[in-house]
Amino acid sequence: MAAVDSSVMRSVLEHLWEHSPSICRHWFRDIEAVDVDAGTIRFVVRESVQLRYLQRSCTEPFTEATQSATGRLLGVEFITQDDLAADPPQEIVSGSTSRAEIDLDGEMILSPDYTFESFVVGPDNRLAHAASMAVAQQPGRAYNPFFVHGGVGLGKTHLLQAICQLAMQHRPDTRIYYTSCNAFMNEFLESVQRGEMHQFRHRFRNYDLLVVDDIHDLSNRGPSQEEFFHTFNALYQAGRQVVLSSDAPPSEIPDLEERLTSRFGCGLVANIERPCYETRVAIVKSKAALRSLVIPEDVAGYIAARIDTNIREIEGALTKIQTLAMLDGSAIDLSLAKRSVGEQLKTSGSTQLTIQDILDTVSGYYGLKLTELLSKRRHKSVSLPRQIGMYLARKHTRFSLGEIGGYFGGRDHTTVMHAVKSIDGRRVGDNRLDQDIVQLESVLLED
């Protein structure tokens, strides 16, 4: 086993920054190259989330960078300080360890980017943020269950993962289960098939903190809602913390059993609103800092002004800007930002569709006046287009059911929910209707 000279790590990092900037994170500078054994160089990191990030997204670029820095055909391995301490392998301790037992399904791995440090607090998410901090510090005490809801890309997953990571830091022995609703349900169904339902239940009852992302997916899960209810109850009654996220508040999740709706709402329900301009500017800066990217004020302002609904697109914009700057060998400035963000908005089809666009297009398509579409008339010739409009608004905008109802002549959220369900169901058997919708979507989403 050979030790590695510190200059190697420097060259590896330089190579990475130059060739794969989008994967680089500020904590890369804490990574150490410790040794080379049997043709493999070992990199040590501090946190297990960092380890997972590296293993998942960085093996290839690190291999390339290492080979370029050393001129040798080396493989790479990422390990944590604990792995290093446990070396040689026969000393690995068995039984309970001091680390948090964090159970993650294969798909959903905690991202080191999703921490409280990198979460920007604004008027739009202040309550959700404060409650998340409280829950992470005192699971089962502060708000139980804690239910956070908001539109796509507004930071729900980020907050949920930050809770897990802070809870782990705070009390390393916290037993955490973090999953998506679908993964939870699939696991449940598999255990039913294997006849291991008992073990499944038993296992969940041992967690201190159960975090389930995208719980609105329960609405398609008819009978399995039952199991979630039991697991939820068992944990809740034992004083364990449950954290849930959803794209709608409990009462607006379609087809959710009444008793679940009321359980979900009995702790704290916090909403994340679309961030205002100032919050978005701060998010752009926070994302840039994660990548150690220096961006001028006007560029941050420009990105924040152009991307105003789904924050996820900010990351895409930064990657694009970073790549263009590298290709051109130029500094990041406003003209470069305009070029890349403009392109991104065009290609991602994320030009924001407004409800007004939908109202105009639907009424034009069916030869109706806008006032007719918004009226109380219930004749099929008007009510069907109206329902289609609501369906399209739900599918292609990030407005809540209640907001959509407001735009469609002041109807309430249950009317919208009913319309969405009804159109969704009828599309399958009604070819004509299906084609109408395809046609409308192609008009709405073109350009």
Rounded to whole angstroms, the Cα distance separating 154 from 247 reads: 10
Count CB-CB contacts under 10 A for residue 151.
Answer: 19
Ranges within 21-40 binding Mg ion (CB under 5 A): none
Q: Which amino acid is at 398?
A: R
> Could you say which of Mg ion, ligand ADP, none residue 286 binds, taking C-beta under 5 to 8 angstroms by partner kind?
ligand ADP
Q: Please state the φ and ψ torsions of residue 279, each to the nearest 5 degrees.
A: -65, -40
Told to check if 157 binds Mg ion by CB under 5 A, we report yes
* Least distance CB 283 / ligand ADP (angstroms): 4
The residue among 156 and 398 lying less far from Mg ion, judged by its C-beta, is 156
- Tell me the DSSP string of 203-240: HHTT-SEEEEE-GGGGGG-GGGHHHHHHHHHHHHHTT-
Query: Taking contact as CB under 5 A, which single stretch among the options 105-113, 150-158, 171-179, 319-327 is the one that binds Mg ion?
Result: 150-158
The residue among 47 and 113 lying less far from ligand ADP, judged by its C-beta, is 113
Which residues contribute to the site for ligand ADP (CB under 6 A)?
114, 118-120, 125, 150, 152-158, 283, 286, 311-312, 315
Q: Per DSSP, what are the bridge partners of residue 2? A: 36
The residue among 164 and 355 lying less far from Mg ion, judged by its C-beta, is 164
* Residue carrying structure tokens 């700057």: 325
208 contacts: CB under 8 Å, gap ≥ 6: 139, 140, 174, 175, 176, 240, 241
* Beta strands at 268-272 and 241-246: parallel, antiparallel or unpaired: unpaired
Rounded to whole angstroms, the Cα distance separating 423 from 277 reads: 35
* Least distance CB 427 / Mg ion (angstroms): 26
Rounded to whole angstroms, the Cα distance separating 197 from 199 reads: 5
* Least distance CB 185 / ligand ADP (angstroms): 18
- Whether the CB-CB separation of 149 and 271 falls below 8 Å is answered with yes
* Least distance CB 403 / ligand ADP (angstroms): 17
Told to check if 292 binds Mg ion by CB under 5 A, we report no
* Residue carrying structure tokens 């209707």: 433
The residue among 61 and 153 lying less far from Mg ion, judged by its C-beta, is 153
> Could you say which of Mg ion, ligand ADP, none residue 250 binds, taking C-beta under 5 to 8 angstroms by partner kind?
none
Q: Which residue is nearest to ligand ADP (CB)?
A: 155
The residue among 125 and 415 lying less far from ligand ADP, judged by its C-beta, is 125
* Least distance CB 421 / ligand ADP (angstroms): 22
* Least distance CB 224 / Mg ion (angstroms): 20
The residue among 167 and 215 lying less far from ligand ADP, judged by its C-beta, is 215
- Whether the CB-CB separation of 343 and 304 falls below 8 Å is answered with no
The residue among 212 and 390 lying less far from Mg ion, judged by its C-beta, is 212
Q: Per DSSP, what are the bridge partners of residue 146? A: 243, 268
Cis amide bond preceding 21, omega within 30:
no
For the record, the structure tokens of 112 come out as: 């080191």
Q: Which amino acid is at 425?
A: G
Rounded to whole angstroms, the Cα distance separating 362 from 366 reads: 6
* Least distance CB 196 / ligand ADP (angstroms): 31
> Could you say which of ligand ADP, Mg ion, none residue 307 binds, taking C-beta under 5 to 8 angstroms by partner kind?
none
Q: Which residue is nearest to Mg ion (CB)?
A: 157
> Could you say which of Mg ion, ligand ADP, none residue 274 binds, taking C-beta under 5 to 8 angstroms by partner kind?
none
* Least distance CB 69 / ligand ADP (angstroms): 30
The residue among 22 and 157 lying less far from ligand ADP, judged by its C-beta, is 157
The footprint of Mg ion (CB under 5 A) covers 156-157
